[in-house]
Structure formats: structure tokens, C-alpha cells
Amino acid sequence: MNATPELIAPPSAAPAPASPSVHSDGTTIPPPAFAKLFRRAPADVAARALPAALGVALIVHRLAAKNELANETQLYTQFLTGLLVAAGLAAVAQIFWTGLRQWLRENCPILAAAILLLGAWETITAGFRWLPMPYFPSPAGVLQSLVNDRALLFDSTWHSLLLLLGGYALGVAVGLVTGICIGWFPFARYWGMPVLKIVGPIPATAWIPLAMVVSPSAIFSAVGLIALAVWFPVTMLTASGISNTRASFLDVARTLGAGRGYLIFRVAIPAAMPSIFIGLFMGLGASFLTLVVAETIGVKSGLGWYVTWAQGWAEYGKVYAALVIMAAFFSTIMTLLFQLRDRVLVWQKGTIKW
Amino acid sequence: MVTLAAAPDLIAEGSSLRVREVSKSFAPADGNVAERGEETRALERVTLSVAAGELVSLVGPSGCGKSTLLRLIAGLDAPGAGELWVGPEPITAPSAERGLVFQDPNLFPWLTVRRNIEAGLVARGVLREKRNEVDEFMRLVGLEKFAGAFPHHLSGGMAQRVALARALINHPKVLLLDEPLGALDAFTRMKMQDEVLRLWRARRTTMLLVTHDIDEAIYMSDRIVILTPSPGRIERIIAVDLERPRQRSSPEFLRLRGDILELLHFAGSTAAA
């Protein structure tokens, strides 16, 4: 914390234009006019912002917690204190550690904002009790529920994961096959496309009444519904990607001696990969929705079931705890798919931005 | 190991090519009211024979059917009438023995340079036996250092060299070049002309080059086929009897250039130049 005054000068003091940002691939892009307003703070300021925000949240918590039972708020106190210590250590360590400084400069503003948001949440729930109880517990209450009920939450997450992966894998496998057939073979397109266009847009959850009748168990029907929800976007985007393969790629491959197998598997499918991945992402979103609905209605396990069950007991702390788990769970799976995309589509690097 | 470039006389891969009375028309495009009902006659009774190992250019204004003729020889389209042969065999479908290089290199963007060059071997299922040839062809076009690069990192000239290597690795009997250097800048183009000539000499492949650059046609070919548009017909075939390497500013070169421009009714522009 012994930075020179120039380093910690407030951003508004310098009338100099915002410096151009350097992209990871080395190209510089000129900053837009409004960038001046959002110019990143120097590392020192950024590193201090996080402990400051945590300090604010801790003070808010101590004030608000006076209204509540000590054993329900203790955990949150420990949680914030632990974070504060970690942030303080990071603020010191970043003076010597360039990598950490870079990371803090990138992530401190958003992390500090998240902490302040927690503080605001606690203020309006536990502090002033502006929102009706028990529907809106404080963050301290949610954390307490999360920890108290961790065994059941873990079990529910595990069941949701199995159901999701089963349904998603089935939907992707069938969707790729039908998509490739519809995209490549004219007869498959003639017979398959109308079915796809009529059946596909029906939300998978609308089939629940039928699924309950025909399926031997709720798990089977849930897997089938998730697969159906995934199948439509995957088929649609795969078929479109395959049939939009550049004709000259196919021409070149033919003059290189390619047979049908090469044309489909080594030209059309790789060429369709960017489109196929859009389908995979859309299918993943649809699978989350269908999973939660299926668990809410029929399946007797999983996070969707847990939310309904906790709501039945009016334990809203647990409801929010399950939502927190869901957010972490779904975004992790989404991130994994993004990483797979980056790996498979490495040849596009620098040409795509999404 | 004997490199290909060092022993040009050992290899004579080219095959003769015959085109007899070939015509090709295209149905009118849908929705174009003005042209509805009128089909485009891209080629009309075109007859041409090319000797094994010969380098022949097709020159003419756009719409004269040069590219159509190349696609017919490649087997990508079927002629409306007439026959085409490579050596003794009629052309019915695309084949690895007739390589094709477009103006756009059309490299597979999802494959590295090396894998692009290998594509023909993979397609024919002979990669295992011929893997050592890949290195040879990478060297032949001077791209050893870029083996792992993806096509979007390559310059236009480099990408076109990869496309040439990719077509040549199948040892085609005929190499069809559809304005392969058309998108390159003037200097790169002149360098690539020498490159193509070097490959041609090394491999003695029969080459058919579509171009609208008259200098390129004179500089490179044994014979120049002049086509005229609507319908596409052969106007004249000119033999170029100049010693290689040819001088682009020699009087013979310039005289030939003037003759061809006159045939194509652009004689006025030579006077200005």
C-alpha cells in the first residue's frame, strides 16, 4: 500500500483519452467514446475495493444481525470474515505477484459489486424487514440453510446431474443423426423436415400429460422429455449446417477422390460444426428448463423436486439455497460446453466472438 | 531419396485430354422475369485436344464458358452433348486423376496445412502407404514451417500453394487451374507463375489454365485457346513458340499480346499502353 500518488490518482483527474485496450491476440482496438467512463482503476485501487466492500458488508451484517438469533448468523459472519482476510492477503500479495495483480484488476470491480449487492440484500431483509417473511430470507439465512441441509442438497444435485446428462446425451445423439440425415439426404429432408417443423416447436413440457400415461416410470419420462427438448434445436441447427456446406468444399473434395463417407464425415460435418454448437447450446438451455419442470411435477428427486419440497414446508432459505446450487451447477455445465466448443472449433479462433 | 524437383525427367505423369463437340446449356434462373424461358448456352460444340504434359491456357471474356469447360473436364458437371476423354477413358464422374484448383484456394478451414495437403490421400484411403510423400509435397511448395498452421493464418499466395500441393499429391494426370492466381497482387502473381511452371516441369502434369490475364497466358502456356462468349465457342488456338523462361517485355511477347488483344477486340487499349 505504498504506491506513488500518480498511481492512485482518481480516474476523472486525468483528461488524457482512454488508452487503447490490447486484445489477447495482440491486436489493439480503439476504445469507444464512453470507455473513458468505465476505464479500469489502477491495480491498487482495485485491490483495495474488494476488502472495502467486504468491510461494508460485514458492518451491515453486524448491525442487521442484532434482530436475529446468534446461531443463525454466526456462519455468515465467519464467511464474510474469511473472505475479508483472503482479500486483504490478496491486496498485499498483488504488490509482488504480477499475475494476481492482473487478475484482481480484471475481476475486483465485479466481485466488489457482488459483495455490495449481498450487503444491500441483507439491509432490506434482515435489516429493515421491508420484504415479507418468510418469503425473503437474508443471505445469512440462506447460507445457514445451505450448510445445514448440505447432504440432501448434494444428493439432489447428483440426481439432477444424472437425469440431465442422460436426457441431454440421448437428445444430442438422436438429434445429430436426424440432423445429418435431413441435411444431407434429399429424401430424409422431404419426409423429416415437415415432422421437425410441426413437432419440434411444441415445448417438451407440453408432452408431460402424455408422458405420464405412456411411460413406466417418472424417470423414464423425464429422460425422454429432456431428450425431446434437446433433439429439436440440435436437429434443426445440424441439418441447416450440413445443407449449407459450401459447394466448392464438396467440389474440391470430389476432385481429390472423396467418396460419400468422406464428403459427409470429413467435409459436411466439420463445416457444420459452428452451427451444430449453436444447436448444442440451445439444447442445453432447453434441457435445464425441462429438467426442473419434470422434477417439479413427476420425479421424486433432484433440485427441482427439492425446491417444491422446501416450499411446501415454507423453508424459503432452502429454496434460495437450491437456487444458488442450480446457478453454480448449470453455469458450470455451460462453461464446460464452451470449453469443448473452443477446443473443437480451434480453427475458427479469431473469427468468432460469442 | 530422390526429390521430385531434382529429377524432372524421371516422371511423366500427364495424360492427353480430348474434348469433342461438347455443348452445355444452363436452365434459366428462377424468378428472373427478363430471362425466363431463355437458357444460357455456356458452351457450343467445343472441340479441343491437349497432348500429355502440355500446358494450355483458356482465355476469354467472362461468360465465355472457360470455367464451365473446366468443370466438365473435372467431371463435376455433365455435358449436354459431346464427349470428353482423359487418355483412353471417357470422363463420367469426378476423380482424383483430374485435380482442380480454384481462384479461392478453398482450403478446408478446420484442417491444418499438413492435413489439408493429406486430404487427397485420406479420401482415397492410402494415407498409411504414402505418408512420406506429404513431407515431400510440403517441401515442394515451401511450406514446411507452416505444417501446423490453420488456413486463416496464411496469406493468399501461401494458401494457393497449399491448394496446389493438395491437388498434386494425388499425382493427377490432368491439373485444372481455374484462375488460380486471379486474386493475388501483381508481384505475388508473377512469383506464383514461376512456381506453377516449376511444378509443371517437375511433374510433367498436363495443365489446363483458365485465366483472364493475357500476359499470364503468354508467359506460361504452350498454346492459348481464345474463347468468345454467348454462346461459348473456340475463336482461335495460338501456339506460343517462345523459349522459356520468357521475357515479358521482349518484342515477340508484346507482338503476341497485341495479336490476342486484337482477337478479343481490345486492340485500342494496347496503343494507349
pLDDT score for B269: 47
**Nine-digit cell string for B133:** 510423400
| Mean pLDDT of all residues in A263-280 | 96
Quick one: A315 and A175 in the same domain?
A: yes
Provide, rounded to the nearest whole percent, the portion of chain B with pLDDT above 70.
Answer: 89
In a domain, A30, yes or no: yes
pLDDT > 50? residue B103: yes
Residues of A in contact with B110 (CB under 8 A): 270-271, 273, 347
Contact A273 B111 (CB under 8 A): no
| Mean pLDDT of all residues in B34-62 | 84
| Backbone torsions φ then ψ of B13, nearest 5 degrees | -95, -15
Residues of A in contact with B166 (CB under 8 A): 256
CB nearest to A249's CB, from B94, B95, B106: B106
Interatomic CA distance for residues A17 and A12, integer angstroms:
11
Contact A257 B76 (CB under 8 A): no
Residues of B in contact with A262 (CB under 8 A): 122-123
Q: Which of A88, A104, A137 is the last residue of a domain?
A: A137
pLDDT score for A30: 54
pLDDT score for A39: 55
Task: Tell me whether residue A235 is exposed, middle or buried, using C-beta atoms within 10 angstroms of its C-beta: 0 to 12, 13 to 18, 19 or more.
Answer: buried
When pLDDT is cut at 50, 70 and 90, the band that residue A214 belongs to is: confident
Cβ B220 vs Cβ B193: under 8 Å: yes
Contact B94 A351 (CB under 8 A): no
| Backbone torsions φ then ψ of A131, nearest 5 degrees | -105, 145
pLDDT > 50? residue B7: no
In a domain, A142, yes or no: no
Kindly report the nearest CA distance between residue B163 and chain A, in angstroms.
Answer: 10
User: How many helices and strands (H and E) does chain A possess?
Assistant: 13, 2
b/e burial code for range B143-167 (CB count within 10 A of at least 16 → b) = beebeeebbeebebbbbbbbbbbbb
Contact A257 B123 (CB under 8 A): yes
Residues of B in contact with A26 (CB under 8 A): none
Please tell me the CATH code under which domain B12-26+37-272 is placed: 3.40.50.300
B interface toward A at CB cutoff 8 Å?
A: 74-76, 94-96, 98-100, 102, 104, 106, 108-111, 119-120, 122-124, 150-152, 166-167, 170, 176
A25-34, B74-83, B201-210: range with lowest mean pLDDT:
A25-34
Interatomic CA distance for residues A130 and A139, integer angstroms:
15
| Mean pLDDT of all residues in B224-241 | 88
Quick one: A200 and A271 in the same domain?
A: yes
| Mean pLDDT of all residues in A269-289 | 95
Interatomic CA distance for residues A250 and A130, integer angstroms:
65
Closest-CA residue of A relative to B124 is A257
Residues of A in contact with B102 (CB under 8 A): 248, 252
Q: Provide the CATH number for the domain around residue A327.
A: 1.10.3720.10
| Mean pLDDT of all residues in A53-73 | 82
A88-97, A225-234, B168-177: range with lowest mean pLDDT:
A88-97
What is the domain range of residue A45?
Answer: 11-137
Quick one: A274 and A154 in the same domain?
A: yes
Q: Please give the ipTM for the structure prediction.
A: 0.87
Average pLDDT, chain A: 85
pLDDT score for A33: 53
Closest-CA residue of B relative to A344 is B110
CB nearest to B94's CB, from A254, A273, A349: A254
Quick one: A109 and A168 in the same domain?
A: no
pLDDT score for A275: 96
CB nearest to A255's CB, from B100, B109, B151: B100
pLDDT > 60? residue A77: yes
Quick one: A132 and A153 in the same domain?
A: no
Quick one: A239 and A329 in the same domain?
A: yes
Interatomic CA distance for residues A108 and A72, integer angstroms:
29
Closest-CA residue of B relative to A349 is B152
Contact A257 B120 (CB under 8 A): yes
pLDDT score for A7: 39
Quick one: A172 and A65 in the same domain?
A: no
pLDDT score for A217: 84
Q: Which residue has the higher pLDDT, A68 or B58?
A: B58
pLDDT score for B268: 54
Quick one: A159 and A65 in the same domain?
A: no
Contact A350 B152 (CB under 8 A): yes
Contact A270 B124 (CB under 8 A): no
pLDDT score for B143: 86
Cβ A252 vs Cβ A263: under 8 Å: no
In a domain, A90, yes or no: yes
In a domain, A2, yes or no: no
pLDDT > 80? residue B185: yes
pLDDT > 90? residue B101: yes
Kindly report the nearest CA distance between residue B186 and chain A, in angstroms.
Answer: 25
Query: What is the DSSP code string of A227-280?
Result: HHHHHHHHHHHHHHHHHTS-HHHHHHHHHTT--HHHIIIIIIHHHHHHHHHHHH
* Residue at grid coordinates 444424472: A162
Kindly report the nearest CA distance between residue B173 and chain A, in angstroms.
Answer: 12
pLDDT score for B33: 52
Q: Give the angle A253-B54-B102 at the CA atoms, nearest 5°.
A: 30
Quick one: A186 and A282 in the same domain?
A: yes
Length of chain B in residues, anyone?
273
How confident is the model over B149-183, as pLDDT tens digits? 999 989 988 999 899 899 989 989 999 999 988 88
How confident is the model over A161-188, as pLDDT tens digits? 999 999 999 999 999 999 999 999 999 9
How confident is the model over A121-171, as pLDDT tens digits? 988 888 888 888 788 888 888 898 888 889 999 999 999 999 999 999 999
Domain-wise residue ranges, chain B: 12-26+37-272
| Mean pLDDT of all residues in B57-72 | 88
Residues of B in contact with A249 (CB under 8 A): 106, 108
CB nearest to A273's CB, from B100, B110, B152: B110
Q: Which of A107, A137, A167 is the last residue of a domain?
A: A137
In a domain, A6, yes or no: no
Quick one: A203 and A329 in the same domain?
A: yes
Q: Give the angle A104-A105-A107 at the CA atoms, nearest 5°.
A: 60
Q: Which of A249, A250, A256 is the best residue to mutate to test the B interface, defined by the most B CB atoms within 10 Å of its own CB?
A: A256
Interatomic CA distance for residues B130 and B125, integer angstroms:
10
| Mean pLDDT of all residues in B17-35 | 75
pLDDT score for A11: 41
Residues of A in contact with B170 (CB under 8 A): 256-257
Q: Which residue has the higher pLDDT, B221 or A6?
A: B221
| Mean pLDDT of all residues in A19-36 | 49
Quick one: A188 and A280 in the same domain?
A: yes
In a domain, A54, yes or no: yes
* Residue at grid coordinates 464467511: A79
Kindly report the nearest CA distance between residue B202 and chain A, in angstroms.
Answer: 20
**Nine-digit cell string for B78:** 455433365
Q: Residue B85 belongs to what H/E stretch?
A: strand B81-86
| Mean pLDDT of all residues in B96-112 | 93
Q: Which of A83, A112, A137 is the last residue of a domain?
A: A137
A interface toward B at CB cutoff 8 Å?
A: 246, 248-249, 251-259, 262, 266-267, 270-271, 273, 346-351
In a domain, A83, yes or no: yes
Cβ B45 vs Cβ B23: under 8 Å: yes
CB nearest to B98's CB, from A255, A258, A273: A255
Task: Specify the number of domains making up chain A.
Answer: 2
pLDDT > 70? residue A331: yes
CA distances from A241 to A67, A75, A200, A280 (A): 59, 52, 17, 13
In a domain, A354, yes or no: no
A97-101, A349-353, B41-45, B201-205: range with lowest mean pLDDT:
A349-353
pLDDT score for B36: 54
Residues of B in contact with A254 (CB under 8 A): 74-76, 94
Cβ B242 vs Cβ B253: under 8 Å: yes
Length of chain A in residues, anyone?
354
Cβ A234 vs Cβ A168: under 8 Å: no
How confident is the model over B114-144, as pLDDT tens digits? 999 999 999 999 999 988 889 988 888 888 8
pLDDT > 80? residue A35: no
| Backbone torsions φ then ψ of A14, nearest 5 degrees | -90, 120
